[in-house]
């Protein structure tokens, strides 16, 4: 890991922070003035920069501005006096990660630096991903199925029908199908058949001759001609007028069409990709969509899952959209806290990916600080229970998609979590989604076992309320097991009981999270509500084999 840079002309401040960070096994490099920092940046860079605001030879605010220009994602903590309100405002406006007033509590200062380190590691990973950002994102099994289908279709010109809710990204899939097809060097032409009036749609699709209708003063090529040699994407095909469906069917059958007002048949070498949010089978039964056209379009069907079925992709998408919005607005990208991400992941997103992108744009403009907390989220998310408090079913050994929190029966919920201070807090139950929301039946989630088959696998808290009296009956469940184990160790005269039980508790939590995420540390850290760097450090300290 890169070192923490401390910039302060006060030797005592540097000494105290150096020693405290060394105890935390964090590398440190100290400077007495901003000039030396800027010189050092030519050859090295920090993980986190902690700077005083007033020093001989330069201002911490000026240093913040210059460092941010060179390293936009670097967390910078500004230290200054309690009463210096203007400095605090300037620090946040300049993109500081946090403001640390002097004199400070050393424990809180180290905790803040730890938080900045976790954020820095996470941003490093995010930046690395953004530099190689594909046209589509998704680690969820449902999205991996879509990616595999795109791969299998990469050397084909077959007609594809994409189904999915509005805002799920159907046009992105169409772009990907075109980009990875033999027609990639040809044009990609898109038209939303629901957004164009019926009287104009025919001309838009097939073009028109001069004088074909009032206002047609010149000949115009339609979308089929424009897409010759490439791909034509017909979005919202389910809303196409019935009489135009006949003309489209003829083009798909023999590749020939006429311009409006034309008398000579034209031919276009076009691959058609269609998309709809509607159930075309129902439209056929209602008599508003031609059955023969449906079968002509439905050669290969790709179902794009709604965002609520791929909640694990929300953090990656949110960070990407935050970066994108910041770039469009010319500002520094804001960061989303773990608690805010948990609330985002619990939201059902009726507008799907498009709604998430709009929320991220809103947050870029409206959130008051650089780190977005739960209280900064828009009103429609304020009543949503954070995902950290919602039961999540494990993935099946065969690799089938796990049920989301919304689909897990209440009877299968795991043991309730411990609130801060070791007190018992009941779990928050999410509403149950209807079974029809999923394309395929999901495996019945299994309850997370709270009882153990051996003491070593029972999760144990680092603290718990003392029993009312030595003779009081032990509580039932794993808390009772914990109390009995604690009594056994204490009666035996052991003096490291706290460390023993805490290590077992932490090891069990991390091992369980890694098991559920199949060894993916970042995802395990998100589920546990801790930082990526924290889980890595704990894995090393506890000797966990992930």
Domain boundaries, given as residue ranges, for the chain: 4-124, 152-304, 308-388, 454-546
User: Do 152-304 and 4-124 have the same topology in CATH?
Assistant: yes
Query: Which stretch of 24-38, 303-317, 426-440, 487-501 has the lowest confidence by average pLDDT?
Result: 426-440
Per-residue pLDDT band for 395 (boundaries 50, 70, 90) equals very low
481: CB partners within 8 A, 6+ apart: 452, 455, 458
Per-residue pLDDT band for 425 (boundaries 50, 70, 90) equals very low
Class of domain 152-304: alpha beta
CB-count burial class (<10 Å; 0-12, 13-18, 19+) for 97: buried
Per-residue pLDDT band for 86 (boundaries 50, 70, 90) equals low
Query: Which stretch of 26-30, 302-306, 357-361, 394-398 has the lowest confidence by average pLDDT?
Result: 394-398
Residue 93 pLDDT: 60
Residue 94 pLDDT: 62
Instruction: Tell me the per-residue pLDDT of 236-252, one tens digit each, with 9 for 90 and over.
Output: 999 998 888 988 998 88
Residue 194 pLDDT: 86
pLDDT at 430 over 80: no
Per-residue pLDDT band for 44 (boundaries 50, 70, 90) equals confident
Cα 394 from Cα 389, distance rounded (Å): 15
The 3-state DSSP class for residue 57 equals: coil
Per-residue pLDDT band for 486 (boundaries 50, 70, 90) equals confident
> What 8-state DSSP symbol labels residue 166?
T
Class of domain 454-546: mainly alpha
Query: Which stretch of 94-103, 198-207, 230-239 has the lowest confidence by average pLDDT?
Result: 94-103
Q: Give yes or no for a contact between 76 and 97, defined as CB atoms under 8 angstroms apart.
A: yes
Class of domain 4-124: alpha beta
Query: Which stretch of 50-54, 319-323, 419-423 has the lowest confidence by average pLDDT?
Result: 419-423
Helix or strand holding residue 480 (H, E): helix 477-491
| Residue of higher predicted confidence among 353 and 470 | 353
| Residue of higher predicted confidence among 140 and 441 | 140
457: CB partners within 8 A, 6+ apart: 508
Instruction: Tell me the per-residue pLDDT of 351-385, one tens digit each, with 9 for 90 and over.
Output: 999 999 999 999 999 988 888 988 899 988 877 76
Q: Give yes or no for a contact between 387 and 393, defined as CB atoms under 8 angstroms apart.
A: no
Instruction: Tell me the per-residue pLDDT of 510-538, one tens digit each, with 9 for 90 and over.
Output: 888 888 887 888 888 888 888 777 888 88
Looking at domain 308-388, does it have CATH number 3.40.30.10? Answer: no
Residue 10 pLDDT: 86
Residue 290 pLDDT: 93
Cα dihedral 459, 465, 470, 476, rounded to 10, equals -50
Residue 140 pLDDT: 81
460-489 average pLDDT score: 60
Residue 398 pLDDT: 31
Per-residue pLDDT band for 288 (boundaries 50, 70, 90) equals very high
pLDDT at 350 over 60: yes
Instruction: Tell me the per-residue pLDDT of 312-325, one tens digit each, with 9 for 90 and over.
Output: 899 989 988 998 89
Residue 476 pLDDT: 59
Which residue has 């924290």 as its token pair?
534
Mean pLDDT over each residue of the chain, to the nearest integer: 76
CB-count burial class (<10 Å; 0-12, 13-18, 19+) for 275: buried
Q: Give yes or no for a contact between 220 and 263, defined as CB atoms under 8 angstroms apart.
A: no
CA distances to 72, 185, 214, 295, 333 from 205, rounded to whole Å, are 46, 21, 18, 21, 41
Cα 398 from Cα 383, distance rounded (Å): 35
137-158 average pLDDT score: 84
Cα 440 from Cα 514, distance rounded (Å): 26
Residue 60 pLDDT: 80
Sign of CA dihedral 43, 49, 50, 56: positive
47-75 average pLDDT score: 84
Residue 355 pLDDT: 93
Per-residue pLDDT band for 92 (boundaries 50, 70, 90) equals low
Residue 91 pLDDT: 56
Cα 98 from Cα 77, distance rounded (Å): 5
pLDDT at 461 over 70: no
142-152 average pLDDT score: 86
| Residue of higher predicted confidence among 431 and 539 | 539
pLDDT at 393 over 70: no
End-to-end CA distance of the chain: 21
């Amino acid at each position: 890991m890169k070192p923490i840079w401390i910039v302060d002309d006060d030797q005592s401040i540097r000494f105290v922070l150096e020693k405290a960070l060394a105890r935390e096994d964090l590398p440190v490099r100290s400077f007495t003035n901003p000039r030396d920092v800027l010189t050092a940046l030519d050859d090295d860079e920090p993980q986190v920069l902690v700077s005083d605001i007033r020093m001989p030879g330069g201002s911490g605010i000026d240093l913040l501005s210059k460092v941010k220009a060179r390293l936009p994602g670097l967390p910078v903590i500004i230290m200054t006096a309690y009463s210096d309100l203007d400095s605090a405002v300037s620090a946040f406006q300049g993109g500081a990660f946090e403001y640390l007033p002097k004199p400070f509590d050393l424990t809180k200062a180290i905790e803040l630096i730890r938080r900045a380190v976790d954020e820095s590691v996470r941003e490093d990973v995010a930046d690395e991903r953004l530099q190689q950002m594909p046209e589509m994102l998704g680690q969820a099994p449902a999205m991996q199925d879509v990616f595999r289908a795109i791969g299998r279709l990469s050397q084909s010109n077959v007609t594809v029908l994409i189904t999915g809710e509005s805002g799920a990204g159907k046009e992105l899939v169409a772009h990907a199908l075109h980009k990875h097809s033999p027609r990639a060097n040809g044009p990609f032409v898109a038209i939303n058949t629901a957004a164009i009036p019926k009287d104009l749609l025919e001309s838009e699709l097939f073009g028109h001759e001069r004088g074909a209708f009032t206002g047609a003063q010149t000949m115009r090529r339609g979308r089929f001609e424009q897409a010759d040699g490439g791909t034509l994407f017909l979005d919202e095909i389910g809303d196409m007028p019935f009489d135009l469906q006949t003309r489209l069917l003829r083009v798909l059958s023999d590749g020939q069409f006429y311009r409006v007002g034309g008398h000579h048949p034209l031919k276009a070498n076009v691959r058609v990709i269609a998309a709809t949010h509607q159930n075309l089978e129902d439209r056929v039964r209602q008599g508003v969509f031609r059955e023969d056209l449906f079968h002509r379009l439905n050669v290969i069907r790709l179902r794009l899952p709604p965002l609520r079925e791929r909640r694990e992709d929300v953090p990656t998408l949110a960070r990407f959209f935050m970066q994108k919005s910041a770039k469009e607005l010319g500002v520094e990208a804001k960061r989303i806290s773990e608690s805010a991400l948990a609330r985002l992941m619990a939201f059902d997103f009726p507008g799907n990916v498009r709604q998430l992108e709009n929320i991220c744009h809103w947050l870029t403009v409206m959130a008051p600080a650089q780190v977005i907390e739960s209280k900064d989220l828009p009103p429609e998310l304020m009543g949503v229970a954070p995902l950290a408090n919602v039961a999540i079913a494990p993935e099946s050994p065969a690799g089938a998609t796990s049920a989301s929190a919304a689909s897990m029966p209440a009877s299968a919920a795991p043991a309730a979590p411990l609130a801060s201070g070791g007190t018992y807090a009941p779990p928050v139950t999410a509403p149950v989604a209807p079974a029809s929301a999923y394309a395929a039946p999901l495996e019945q989630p299994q309850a997370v076992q709270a009882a153990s088959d051996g003491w070593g696998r029972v999760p144990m808290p680092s603290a718990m309320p003392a029993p009312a009296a030595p003779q009081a009956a032990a509580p039932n469940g794993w808390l009772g097991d914990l109390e009995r184990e604690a009594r056994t160790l204490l009666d035996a005269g052991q003096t490291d009981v706290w460390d023993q039980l805490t290590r077992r508790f932490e090891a069990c939590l991390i091992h369980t999270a890694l098991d559920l995420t199949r060894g993916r540390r970042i995802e395990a850290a998100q589920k546990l509500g801790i930082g990526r760097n924290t889980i890595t450090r704990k894995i090393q300290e506890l000797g966990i084999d992930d």
